[in-house]
Amino acid sequence: MKIKAIDHITINVKDLETSKKFYETVFGLTFCGYIDMGDHNLTYYQLPGGVRLELIDFTEKVPAPEHKVTNTGIYRHFCLTVDNLDELYETCKKYNVNVTDAPSFIEKLGVRNMLLIDPAGVEVEVFEEA
């Protein structure tokens, strides 16, 4: 068995329209599909390399437990690479995005990064190669 690729990253959204606006406005993602699954809807956005971002909007909303970056045994974040971290940071400020770590250089990794929280409460890390 050999892993061939990542197909998609999934986020269970709190409010679909807010999440759609966030990913379209802040990251400039392109909508690429919608599927009504009955008890939930799937909305897709294209990421580079054939990967898709899948937003799941459940009919019945169940609140998530409090998320802390130090929680263990949980999925923490996904990371995107951009060509201009400062431009993204300015866009985040313009749209009042919750940036938890402003752009900084991580010497041991050799990249600049920042952390932000999407409307569903999901942490997104963003890299810019130095």
Q: How far apart are CA 119 and CA 123, in angstroms?
A: 10
Residue 92 lies in a domain: yes
pLDDT of res. 117: 96
Residue 2 lies in a domain: no
Tokens of 98: 């919750």
pLDDT of res. 76: 85
CATH number of the CATH domain containing 55 = 3.10.180.10
Beta carbons of 120 and 19 less than 8 angstroms apart: yes
- Pick from 113, 119, 121, 116: which is nearest to 92 by CA? 116
Residue 115 lies in a domain: yes
pLDDT of res. 80: 96
Instruction: State which residues form the domain around 111.
Output: 8-60+74-129
Residue 1 lies in a domain: no
Q: Which residues of the chain have pLDDT under 70?
A: none
Residue 24 lies in a domain: yes
pLDDT tens digits, 47-67 = 999 999 999 999 998 888 887
Q: Beta 52-58 vs 77-81: how paired, if at all?
A: unpaired
Residue 69 lies in a domain: no
pLDDT of res. 112: 97
Residue 124 lies in a domain: yes
pLDDT of res. 65: 80
pLDDT of res. 66: 81
| Structural domains in the chain (count) | 1
